[in-house]
Amino acid sequence: MIFEEKIKARIEEKLGSKIKGFTSLSGGCISDAFKVTMDNGSNFFLKYNSSSSNDMFIKEANGLKELSKANAIRIPEVLSFNDDYILLDYIPTGSKKKSFFEDFGRRFAEMHKYAADEFGFYEDNYIGSNPQKNIPDAKEKNDWVRFYFNKRILFQLQLAEKLGNSTDALRKGISKLEDKIEEIIGDSKEKPSLLHGDLWGGNYMVDENGNAVLIDPAVYYGHREADLGMTKLFGGFSLEFYRAYVETFPLEDGYDYRENIYKLYHVLNHLNLFGGGYYSQALSLIKFYV
């Protein structure tokens, strides 16, 4: 494989061992995934994209490192990365233990207790392959409503305009939403939580001990309801997950009402990633409020 010689020396220098071989793995739709086996018998996980011309892997590495600071859920250790690859420790997959979702919900709540003083993040990153704007302006740093509308909903509308995915109905709907956004979200006094940013069934794995491992983050600090809203899309998680979460870190009144506003960001992002199939869903979520 052509890529082997391009990064083999870098990996071997980093790990202090010779590479014995690469095994192709099933993975995401953006990059190729491999199990890297070393001469000493150790294994590592490699994601590689030869056409990568941006900093996607760098931002992924920084996100994983940030999540690990909470020491709440298992996060793959970042060993090496560059523009065209990221190398992580290899985590064998297993089967969910009986208390999987209960433990997952409790640990996810503990992760959300890891907080910052301001909303956003020190760098922009990606949500899927789309850019995610995280660097707040002066007024957004301590104003969740302003940050969320500008950096999440409005940015996705602007992206939809560029990609030809917007319509008058979508523009008018989001304009009406802007007028009501403070009323919808309310005035929470919670500190900004560490968020995975893109948690659904495809962005966690089950390790050899039957526990959850978080992968493929879109990290920033925000209101934790934004993370939970995403988990309700694409089938959602089990009732045990949410019950354990609330027992560990109770939610403010009205969460169910606010859930759709947080789903909207991800549905708009999917509209911009995959096209019109998500258009009607986005309008439906907007019409729930306006």
Number of H helices, E strands in the chain: 10, 11
Could you confirm whether 198 is annotated as catalytic?
yes
Residue of 179, 152, 187, 154 whose CA lies nearest to 289: 179
Q: Give yes or no for a contact between 147 and 102, defined as CB atoms under 8 angstroms apart.
A: no
Residue of 127, 163, 129, 126 whose CA lies nearest to 30: 129
Residue of 267, 279, 257 whose CA lies nearest to 152: 267
- For residue 140, the 8-state DSSP code is T
The CA distance from 248 to 225, in Å, is 14
Residue of 84, 103, 143, 198 marked catalytic: 198
Residue 188 three-state SS: coil
End-to-end CA separation in angstroms for the chain: 54
Q: Which residues are catalytic?
A: 198
